[in-house]
A and B are shown apart, each in its own frame.
Chain A
Amino acid sequence: MDILSIALPALSEAFALILQPEQLTFLALGVLLGLSVGVFPGLGGIAGLSLVMPFIYGMDPVSGLALMVGLVAVIPTSDTFASVLMGIPGSSASQATVLDGFPLSKQGQAARALAAAFVSSLFGGLFGAVVLTFFILVARPIVLSFGLPELLMLTILGFSMVGVLAGQSLLKGLVAAGLGMAVATIGEAPAQGSSRMDFGFWYLQDGLQLVIVGLGIFAIPEIISLLRQNRSIAETAALGAGWIDGLRDWWRNLFLSVRCAVIGVVVGVIPGLGGSVVDWIAYGHTVQSSRSRERFGKGDIRGVIGPESSNNAKEGGGLVPTLLFGIPGSGSMAVFIAGMILLGYEAGPQMIRNDLPVTYTVVWSLALANVFGAGLCILLSGGIARLTLIRFPLLVPFLFMMIAFAAFQSRQTLWDLGALVAIGLLGIFMRRFDWPRPAFLIGFVLAEQAEVYTYQATQIAMLRFRRGWEAGLDYLVSPTVIALLVITVVSVWLGMRQSTAIHDGAGTATEDRSKRAPMLFAALILVFLVVVTVDALSVPVLIDRVFPLTVAGFSAVLALLVLVQMLRQSVSSPLFADAEVHGDDARAAVGLWRTLAWFLALLALTALFGFVLAIVLFFTLFLRLRAGVGWPRILALTAGGVGGLLLLAGSLNRDFPPGLLQALVDLPWPFAGR
């Protein structure tokens, strides 16, 4: 055990380095900052690290690393609050948690769901730290064995989850995934930078960011739907199962947690796969490997345990390429590397060779941070879960404020809010007509790597084939590729065997629904896909043209098939699911457009007066007119909400969306904007 003889002394040396009052204090500080930042959707590791970056230079290296690692490690823990309690994906790492976590909250089981999520996070985090310890010494050849064909195969494996998450109609699932990919091709092409689908509009040139798409597809439809029903999030008057139940749930599903933690580590370790897909793969795996699937999407605790076990494990795995190759696996890892440089360490092989004890303080920080963070969150979960008992209209201004602020972090322009509304509308209708939103998101997340890896692997393979058949085949058909291919086939088969569940509570078939609205929506999707196809034809550079042309063209054909099926099948087919006729929304007290109008009003007010003034007006108007709250409470809620946001934004050095007013008059922060 050569590894052990290298690792153990360094580990104990590292333990002695970290177990000092000063270092532990900084670790705890990092954890607290990470928890606070993670609670806000849209603010992740980048925002948190940027907050501490000015203080890093000149710090003791171990303290600085503890501060940064503590902060990064707990973000996938605390982001669960928003996902479970509000149905807002707290960050890209916990989008899948929403699928079952939020229904559990609606059933009054928020504390149970949170506790199960946190203990899964804790387990995943510790697992990741253990793997990091030993793997970092041997990982180099393994990581290097994942070339472009292997990465492409992994991407395809990710796509195979669409089959599992497709819901009642596989065809609709495929179209949804294709639509997600088509939306992702908007903007500068990754290879040669050709314009695609931007119509000369600068905002679209950079493409849409995952934050906005995630919020629009998941958060906005849920919030609007709840608001229309005018009740609290939990349907019950009192909270049911408590946090102890959540711990028991996790224990009962220990092996699921182990498997998903492994998935998390693997996805994290391989650079180039991107962390935002890990929760979906874990969720897909959870559904595949479960015998009874009826409750998924309606509040199955396993749907929380799976993704949450994987997303913290990913952080440990993700530190492998970061420390080993100096290649950041995510935006927050990029800032982490910058911070390490300020501390005098350049991530890379020589750091592991020469400074192993210091490297291992990262491992200890990671493990301790997960214990601190998850412990604190479990303790808090019972209390915070009571939020779900509050009358929903009282929460809405806070949620709108948080979502808008989160979306604005994308490009820091008013158009971020416009894009959010547009994607939000798409999400609302996908939810209404039971188009699988997870499939859309998987398509969106994986599109760019699918495009780039396909093209790069093809190009390199062609050069190898020029040298000879054998060289080319060796490159394309490696043992890893074959193994991944087998896993993919099994995954697809498991998904096809029983593609049930995962739909959004649209009702059972009856005669009183009509074909018109669902067909109209399907036709609109077809039109969009055709537009993307036509636009792709005009892209001048071949390698920038092929992917959108193929994906959108193929999806358009599938969408046409959906329409043909719709024409031929009776109105009782699940194809015509309509939540407005059956399901939650049918019982809603208020219409869709009247509810959505409030969000549009916030957008309009922001366009006129800038975000800060707009949100003050919005709080006042909404609480008075819609929630019917008395003036003293309006004052208190507005001051608390807006004050909290200003405090946060001020300390993170963030601006707010400007409006017409700011174009005319120069105002000081926070009323100014850029």
Chain B
Amino acid sequence: MAHFGTLALAATAGGLLAVTAAPAQAVDLAGETIEWIIPFSEGGGSDRWARFYAPLLSEALPGQPVVVVKNMPGAGSTKGANYFAERAEADGLTILGTSGSTQFPYLLDDPRVKFDYADWEVVLASATGGVAYLPPDLGERWQDDRAALIADTYFIYGSQGATRLDLVPLLAFEMLGMQVDAVFGLKGRGDGRLMFERGEANIDYQTSSAYLANVVPLVDDGQAVPIMTWGSLDADGTIVRDPTFPDIPTFKEVCEATEGCETVGPAWEAWKAFFIAGFAAQKMVFLPGGASQDMVDTFTNAFRAVTERPDFADISARRLGVYPQATGASAETFKRLATDVPAEARAWIKAWLKDRYGVEL
């Protein structure tokens, strides 16, 4: 009996494929199911981001197809991305969401990476930011007497690993001349915040949404003081103040005002490249290479329609922060900046990781 079912199912599915393959001009996805591959497990930042967008994307695409988020974690997010590179059909029914944690292994030539960003068509790039903060006593000295604070204080920072997104804060701290001991092995940034609240760590950073939800109450209670953001990227690729936190200076500003820290040269270039890949263009949505221009346009327009909804600012502010959600040409720019990193910057980071943390890549 099950065999008859097989045949019937095969026949129906074959029919469906024929229908989607035929008309290229007017893309209509009615009755289809779009799988949005997220190479991370449920509940993480990327999962939350995709689940925020999925119902809105479904509404905005022609024919209102069902959009399901498919979590495919493993091998530091390379498993899902490799799967997408090897197996996804260019029919618009499979899309991929990546994060800084997918970009970093790619930039650091992780042997597990079997995909190439250059092959893919970007249809959305979402930015985020991060805020570093100190306990109140150190925060006060940071404002008044930064040079002495940096010279005489041992900082402890809870980290998920030097090759993860934490690379960006760790390198920033080091460029400022701070003596920061990273305590590795954290499961998530939330654990870092707990360590800070318990007084075990005395410096921490959180990405924007987590900062808004969980650190702002601490700041209001006088238990934490924000010191800098990683900044945000404007249309020309220059680092400017983070629009969600316009009152907090950027690392770039702090660096310029600190002796021994330079916003030119190889260290700065490397930091900036990895900041863009990790934060400014943290999350991107891709169609497989070979997708028709019509299909790319369809998705681009759908995401643009979502981000231009009159209520978008309202519904997204709490979940994504106030950040550029780039489509079209500006998404292309973000993708290029995040994935087409000069070989020198990559080599510099690799040497630094080896030298500073003994991590060989």
Contacts and interface: CB of A to CB of B under 8 A. Distances in A.
A463 B156 contact: yes
B145 to A, nearest CB: 20
Contact of A334 (B43, B161, B163): B43
A466 interface: yes
Given A54-B55, A192-B161, A638-B2, A206 B75 contact: yes
Given A350-B217, A668-B9, A668-B10, A46 B42 contact: yes
Contact of B184 (A191, A333, A670): A191
Interface in A181-217: 188, 190-193, 202, 205-206
A50 B200 CA distance: 35
A595 interface: no
Nearest to B218: A349
Contact of A147 (B54, B76, B161, B198): B198
Interface string A215-249: 00000000000000000000000000000000000
Interface stretch (A15-23, A279-287, A539-547, A552-560): A539-547
B51 A460 contact: no
Interface in A108-165: 144-148
B105 to A, nearest CB: 10
Nearest to A55: B55
B63 interface: no
Contact of A326 (B12, B14, B213): B213
Contacts of B6: 613, 671
Contacts of A54: 54-55, 68
Contacts of B3: 616
A342 interface: yes
A202 B43 contact: no
B308 interface: no
Interface stretch (B274-282, B288-296, B353-361): B353-361
A459 B42 contact: no
A350 B213 contact: yes
Given A327-B191, A342-B51, A350-B213, A540 B2 contact: no
B217 A338 contact: no
B83 interface: yes
B183 A456 contact: yes
B352 to A, nearest CB: 14
Interface SS of A by simple majority: helix
B48 interface: yes
Contact of B51 (A53, A58, A327, A411): A53
Q: How large is the interface on B (under 10, 10 to 19, 20 to 34, 35 or more residues)?
A: 35 or more
A292 B191 CA distance: 42
Contact of A342 (B52, B68, B184, B360): B52
Contact of A192 (B44, B162, B214): B162
A543 B317 CA distance: 40
Interface SS of B by simple majority: helix
Interface in B1-21: 1-3, 6, 9-10, 12-14
Contact of A348 (B154, B200, B217): B217
Contacts, number: 160
Contacts of B14: 668
Nearest to A327: B190
Interface string B39-76: 00111100110011011000000000000111110111
Contacts of A649: none
A344 B76 CA distance: 30
Interface in A295-331: 325-328, 331
B146 interface: no
A616 B183 contact: no
A346 B74 contact: no
A338 B47 contact: yes
A543 B12 CA distance: 55
A327 B359 contact: no
A670 B202 CA distance: 52
Contacts of B246: none
Contact of A463 (B43, B51, B87, B154): B154
A466 B154 contact: yes
Contacts of A337: 43
A541 B87 CA distance: 35
Given A191-B161, A327-B191, A459 B183 contact: yes
B318 interface: yes
Nearest to A145: B198
A486 interface: no
B65 to A, nearest CB: 13
Contacts of B9: 668-671
Contacts of B51: 53, 57, 338, 342
A202 B42 contact: no
B253 interface: no
Q: How large is the interface on A (under 10, 10 to 19, 20 to 34, 35 or more residues)?
A: 35 or more
Contact of B318 (A328, A346, A353): A346
A674 interface: yes
B309 interface: no
A302 to B, nearest CB: 34
Given A338-B48, A542-B358, A674-B83, A653 B68 contact: yes
B32 interface: no
B112 interface: yes
Contacts of B74: 206, 411
A412 B357 contact: no
A540 B214 contact: no
B336 interface: no
B83 A455 contact: no
Contacts of A350: 213, 216-217
A520 interface: no
B154 A192 contact: no
Given A192-B184, A341-B319, A668-B13, A460 B156 contact: yes
A338 B190 contact: no
Contacts of A148: 195, 200
A653 B69 CA distance: 9
A426 interface: no
A653 B72 CA distance: 12
A447 interface: no
A642 interface: yes
A136 to B, nearest CB: 15
Interface string A48-92: 011001100110000000000000000000000000000000000
Nearest to B182: A459
A455 B185 contact: yes
A206 B72 CA distance: 13
A335 interface: yes
Nearest to B70: A653
Given A460-B156, A460-B183, A642-B2, A412 B72 contact: yes
Interface string A258-275: 000000000000011000
Contacts of A668: 9-10, 12-14
B185 A456 contact: yes
Contacts of A442: none
A537 interface: no
B2 A192 contact: no
A190 B74 CA distance: 14
- Lowest 3 A-B CB distances belong to which pairs? A334-B43, A668-B13, A346-B213
Interface of A: 46, 49-50, 53-54, 57-58, 144-148, 188, 190-193, 202, 205-206, 271-272, 325-328, 331, 333-338, 341-342, 344, 346-350, 353, 411-412, 451-452, 455-456, 459-460, 463, 466, 540-543, 613, 616, 635, 638-639, 642-643, 653, 667-671, 674
Given A49-B42, A328-B43, 18 more contacts: A148-B200, A191-B185, A192-B161, A192-B357, A193-B76, A272-B191, A325-B214, A327-B193, A336-B43, A338-B42, A338-B47, A341-B48, A411-B79, A456-B185, A638-B1, A668-B9, A668-B14, A669-B9
25 contacts: A147-B199, A192-B357, A193-B76, A206-B75, A271-B191, A325-B193, A325-B194, A325-B214, A327-B194, A331-B41, A335-B42, A335-B43, A335-B47, A336-B43, A338-B43, A346-B318, A348-B214, A350-B217, A451-B185, A459-B183, A460-B183, A466-B154, A638-B1, A668-B10, A668-B14
